[in-house]
């Protein structure tokens, strides 16, 4: 059985945020294809609770490093990776792990841990194949946040360092994956080597029965039709919501609401812009709190539509994959659709409805709630399934010398 070690800048024992979910999907796809998979995160102890740490994780310590990373949050991963690469014991720990596990392949999510891995690889003898999986082009993803006033002194140099790291890794790796079709082409052009488009996937792509779930019962009992959205409290998610609803939720009728799951709901509710229209918003909005994976399909299935009002962020937005795979009508911004190109082209205006202004976005929400809009076809949904990811990975790995028979 071929063996893969996945290296990430976070633990994977309890995947929650988008990057973790993406890495966990890769692990599932490899196991589905017959690989043995181990996982090792390299991160600071203050960023994830101990109960989420895995047996192979390399956990950094030190308040000074944590404070520096948190004080420059746009480059927190780079600060941690640089510190890890400067610590001989961290490099030695990864080197010992490689020697003990002897993986055929090391798959690295994000560019950051290449700083450590390139020092830990053996100087001579057999080496594992190296796969770089890009979730974003990180250096160019910072510019929109700079425009929001988040730029700090020295960040221009960190952008250049990030770009150099991404280019070095793309050229050094045996295989490069990109989550976005657009970014795959961009990495190819800059690095001068082929890049495989490995799209985002969702476990909702496999249709299941969701009739009579908790959210359907609660909406029915209250006489409410709702539009669903789900996400973390990550500020682009919050900014996107208020960008498409800048004047509150008064455009909705008394029996129409927006239900926001995950930490996003609370973040919206506590934002000062919510208070500008609090009286009407309180009657048109519900923060549902965290929704378990087992209830996610039911949360979307009971909704009239799923909202993905993303304006900022690189790569392919993973919440878009869940929205499309849910089978509900998806109301998105143009930015939310970026990175999904060939997978969803046929679904535009037939399952995915795109609006670029608050007025047009509100009109689509009302139309979904009052008239109904069809969701994506089973064929489109299937392209966002884990089986589709496994097929792409198997085909790509078969081109690598030494892995053709796996």
Instruction: List, for residues 294-308, the tens digit of each pLDDT value.
Output: 889 999 999 999 999
CATH superfamily of 3-201+386-397: Glycogen Phosphorylase B; (3.40.50.2000)
Mean pLDDT of 190-202: 94
DSSP code, position 282: H
Give whichever of 109-123, 192-206, 306-320 has the largest mean pLDDT: 109-123
Whether 3-201+386-397 shares its CATH topology with 205-382 is answered: yes
Mean pLDDT of 55-73: 95
All residues at 6 or more sequence positions from 382 whose CB lies less than 8 Å from its CB, including other chains: 205, 388
On the question of pLDDT at 404 being above 60, the answer is no
Half-sphere exposure of 300 (CA within 13 A, CB side): 32
Q: Sort residue 340 into left (φ over 0), alpha (ψ -120 to 50) or beta.
A: alpha
Fold of 205-382: Rossmann fold (3.40.50)
d(CA 35, CA 28): 9
Give whichever of 197-206, 234-243, 247-256 has the largest mean pLDDT: 247-256
pLDDT band of residue 207 (cuts 50, 70, 90) is: low
Mean pLDDT of 89-106: 97
| Residue-level length of the chain | 406
d(CA 341, CA 346): 9
Q: Considering the chain, what is the average pLDDT of its residues?
A: 92
Show the 3-state SS of 74-90: HHHHHHHHHHHHCCHHH
b/e per residue, 1-11, with b = 16+ CB within 10 A? ebbbbbbbbbb
Q: Would you list the domain boundaries of the chain? A: 3-201+386-397, 205-382
The 3-state DSSP class for residue 321 equals helix
């Amino acid at each position: 059985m071929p063996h893969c070690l996945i290296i990430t800048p976070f633990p994977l024992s309890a995947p929650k945020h988008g990057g973790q979910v993406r890495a966990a999907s890769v692990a599932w796809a490899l196991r589905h294809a017959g690989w043995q998979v181990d996982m090792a995160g390299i991160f600071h102890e203050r960023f994830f609770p101990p109960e989420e740490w895995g047996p192979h994780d390399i956990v950094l310590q030190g308040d000074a490093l944590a404070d520096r990373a948190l004080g420059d949050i746009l480059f927190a991963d780079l600060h941690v990776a640089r510190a890890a690469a400067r610590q001989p014991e961290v490099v030695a720990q990864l080197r010992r792990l490689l020697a003990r596990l002897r993986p055929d392949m090391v798959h690295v999510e994000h560019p950051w841990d290449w700083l450590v891995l390139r020092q830990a690889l053996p100087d001579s003898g057999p080496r594992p194949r190296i796969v770089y999986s890009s979730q974003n082009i990180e250096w160019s993803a910072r510019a929109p946040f700079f425009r929001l006033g988040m730029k700090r002194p020295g960040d221009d140099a960190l952008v250049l360092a990030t770009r150099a790291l991404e280019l070095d890794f793309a050229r050094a790796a045996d295989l490069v994956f990109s989550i976005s079709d657009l970014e795959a082409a961009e990495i190819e052009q800059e690095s001068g080597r082929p890049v495989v488009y490995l799209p985002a996937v969702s476990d909702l792509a496999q249709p299941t029965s969701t009739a009579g779930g908790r959210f359907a019962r609660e909406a029915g009992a209250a006489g409410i039709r709702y539009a669903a959205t789900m996400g973390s409290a990550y500020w682009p998610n919050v900014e996107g919501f208020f960008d498409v609803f800048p004047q509150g939720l008064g455009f909705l009728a008394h029996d129409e609401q927006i239900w926001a799951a995950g930490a996003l709901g609370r973040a919206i509710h506590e934002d000062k812009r919510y208070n500008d229209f609090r009286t009407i918003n309180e009657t048109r909005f519900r923060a549902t709190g965290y929704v378990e994976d087992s209830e996610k399909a039911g949360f979307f299935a009971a909704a009239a539509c799923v909202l993905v009002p993303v304006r900022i962020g690189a790569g392919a937005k993973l919440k878009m994959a869940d929205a499309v795979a849910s089978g509900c009508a998806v109301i998105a911004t143009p930015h939310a659709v970026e990175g999904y190109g060939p997978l969803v082209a046929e679904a535009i205006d037939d399952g995915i409805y795109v609006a670029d202004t608050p007025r047009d976005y509100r009109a689509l929400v009302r139309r979904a709630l009052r008239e109904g809009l069809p969701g994506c076809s089973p064929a489109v949904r299937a392209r966002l399934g884990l089986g589709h990811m496994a097929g792409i990975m198997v085909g790509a790995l078969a081109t690598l010398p030494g892995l053709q028979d796996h």
